[in-house]
Amino acid sequence: MNSLLPDPPVIERVAITSPLGVRFLDAATNKFVEDSLIVEAYAPANPDRRIPAVRTPGDIYAFHDLPGLREFQYGVNDERRWSAPPPTRAFVVEVHDPAGRFLPCRFTAQAPHRELFELTPSGSPPVAPAGAVPLFSQASRSVPPGFAVLRAELATADGARRQPAAWTLAEVSIPMTRRTIMARGLADSMGRLALFFPWPEPSNIAVGSPLPSPPQLLGDQSWTVHFRAWRDVASPPAQPSPDDLPDLGPVLGLLGQPPAGVWEDLSPLVPFTEAALIFGRELLVPARGLGDARPRTLLIT
């Protein structure tokens, strides 16, 4: 039935624009994070006033009511606001994962920011798709199905004294026939690293007919994993506490610099650049002989 009443008049039209939106990427699986995170922002001069982000149906974390941006957020014409936005303000964004999969972290973002915020320092290779911020795995995270893992403890050396190499950025690469598998991970405040990456494709498997010559069982498959690491010795405190958070901006900016020296904790020191990955086994580096109970530690210089 058609109504004969006129359309109600528009008394007021209010458009609300989020000045900052962030989407997060699981650096291990290369998939966007779909579960709830705790994401908060605050002005550097007022860390006690924290603004929580709202998670949208598209798994984007949107901020509203950021200090100093209320007039920008509320207005009549959204496009007009972006054509002449106010001066940007810096906000520190902190991220925590209640499920314990990802390392807590922080980064600095400028708002208002029209597109989804991303962390790709100038001159560095991309670490995530456009419009995403990577999150790195905790050392205690369970291995995702179909993934291999490299585990290590990283330290710095001052004579005979060892310090955890907190927030060292590590990278593995495995050259294959048609592609190269590459993945990155971040050590925690105690220098513990768990770096996840997809299992490489096996080759020359003893299945089917005719059998390859010579055939090889799946359990005998192995690959060479190349290892590199970066660390800014000036950024982390000498003895970071578990409550300290890595700043992803400077950490990811290290990718534009030469890698650090990585050594096996032996006497004499031996450079560590690669290791053998065997199918179905966790890769613990550096490798030790049977019966050798010494800690597996890599030294970063």
DSSP letter string, 61-122: EEE-S-TT-HHHHEES-HHHHHHSPPPPEEEEEEEE-TTS-B--EEEEEEES-SSPB----T
Q: Are strands 297-300 and 147-158 parallel, antiparallel or unpaired?
A: parallel
Tokens of 227: 């290892």
Q: Which of 240, 233, 225 is nearest to 260 (CA)?
A: 233
Give the pLDDT score at 210.
55
Give the pLDDT score at 221.
85
The domain locations on the chain are: 15-135, 147-300
Residue range 275-286, pLDDT digits in tens: 999 998 999 988
Q: Which of 164, 151, 162, 152 is nearest to 191 (CA)?
A: 164
Give the pLDDT score at 75.
65
Coil vs helix vs strand at 190: coil
In DSSP terms, which residues pair with 186 in a beta bridge? 169
What is the spatial distance between Cα 26 and Cα 59, in angstroms, rounded to a whole number? 13
286 and 276 in contact (C-beta within 8 Å)? no
25 and 31 in contact (C-beta within 8 Å)? yes
Give the pLDDT score at 13.
59
Give the pLDDT score at 35.
84
Give the pLDDT score at 240.
61
**3-state secondary structure labels for all residues of 110-175:** EECCCCCECCCCCCCCCCCCCCCEEECECCCCCCCCCEEEEEEEEEEEECCEEEECCCCEEEEEEE
Phi then psi for residue 184, to 5 deg, are: -130, 150
Residue range 156-187, pLDDT digits in tens: 877 667 889 999 999 999 998 888 999 999 99
What is the spatial distance between Cα 172 and Cα 184, in angstroms, rounded to a whole number? 6
Give the pLDDT score at 157.
76
Give the pLDDT score at 185.
96
First and final CA of the chain: distance in angstroms? 79
Give the pLDDT score at 179.
87
258 burial via Cβ count (<10 Å: 0-12, 13-18, 19+): exposed
Q: Which residues of the chain have pLDDT under 50?
A: 206
